[in-house]
Amino acid sequence: MGGKDAGFQPNPKAYCIHVQFALTVPTIRDRVVQTAAVLVLEPIFEADLQPEQYAYRADRSALDAVQHVHRLINTGHGQIVDADLSSYFDSVPHAQLIKSVARRIVDGAMLHLIKMWLEAPVEETDERGNKRRSTRNRDEGRGTPQGSPISPLLSNLYMRRFVLGWKKLGHEKRWKAYIVNYADDLVIGCRAGAEQALAEMRAMMSKRKLTVNETKTRVCYLPEEKFDFLGYTFGRCYSMRRRRLYLGTVPSKKRVQRICRAISDQTGRDTVRLDPKTLVETLNRMLIGWANYFCLGAVSKAYSAVDMHARRRLRRWLCDKHNEPRPGYKRFPEASLHSVYGLVQLPHRTASLPWAKA
């Protein structure tokens, strides 16, 4: 693995800009060494991570976290602390994080290596090809580099301090307040005392040098209100089949809009030179991938909306490709979009999905 005496120095990480956050991409050499370190460290820390933590762990997923919240809201935990942390990954303090690592790792060389990764400069290339180095993480002593193999483990390890502290201080028992955490997403399902739980959560995060986003953090009271978590909207739903109200989930409006925008981007005029088979294969991968995640709860309405949008956009694309006047219903009827061109139909997937019959 190497250490101080091995002369290993992390290379500056490339820097990519995404819409929602900055993603650092380590060099190949760093990725290889970090991956090797993760293979050694992950089994050691896995035993320490709390059952409420679902991100970046074997045999756990975001859907498991969604189901956990679903169980909470259906077992009397109707007061929800819907928490949002400001720039969690960029805020994790190095000194406290290294202390957490050192609880299990006594090898000084490994601790030094992790510290070097945390402080490694980031190299950014602008549109003109000019390179600029940033040492913000080292200068401010905080931040885990998103995009690096070791970052998920480190971010989980630091969040563990809050989750474990919550239980050790007796807050879970006091308010029957149960945490569900996925990376930097967090909700606390309470039977009572949600306002007090929110205040305590805010104080605990501050003590750990993390910042609660006050504009996005709130207490939600079910069933009158709804809240979003990991792309799902939780709240009161109505079953047409059973003709009753129940607390459940639906794909959030934002996520439905996002997949529709992605479909629109994929079927723009700049793609009409593509072969129809190639385009439909791409659309099918997008649709099936989206539906594989959004498979819990009452999905039929969302599936129908996405399905309708996909048909409309494919028909419009075919009209543009073949110089056919829009809307093209006669030449490209709905049935042919599926039977001839092979576009998948999401509503046909609904019957076999969990909770879909609720």
Enter the DSSP assignment of 346.
G
Where does the pLDDT of residue 133 fall: very low under 50, low under 70, confident under 90, or very high at 90 and above?
A: confident
pLDDT tens digits for 22-64?
555 677 888 899 999 999 999 999 999 999 999 999 999 999 9
Residue 232: left (phi > 0), alpha (psi -120 to 50), or beta? beta
Q: What pTM was estimated for this model as a whole?
A: 0.88
CA–CA gap between residue 60 and residue 152 (Å, rounded): 14
pLDDT at 9: 56
- What's the mean pLDDT when you consider all of the chain? 90
**Could you tell me where the DSSP H helices lie in 47-107?**
62-73, 88-91, 94-102
Decide which of 96 and 351 is more confident. 96
Residues contacting residue 34 through CB under 8 Å, at least 6 positions apart: 26, 117, 148, 149, 150
pLDDT tens digits for 273-300?
999 999 999 999 999 999 999 999 999 9
Instruction: List the structure tokens of 345.
Output: 């139909």
Say how many C-beta atoms besides its own lie within 10 A of residue 64's C-beta. Answer: 13
CA–CA gap between residue 179 and residue 51 (Å, rounded): 10
Contact, 162 vs 208, CB < 8 A?
yes
pLDDT tens digits for 221-251?
999 999 999 999 999 998 888 889 999 999 9
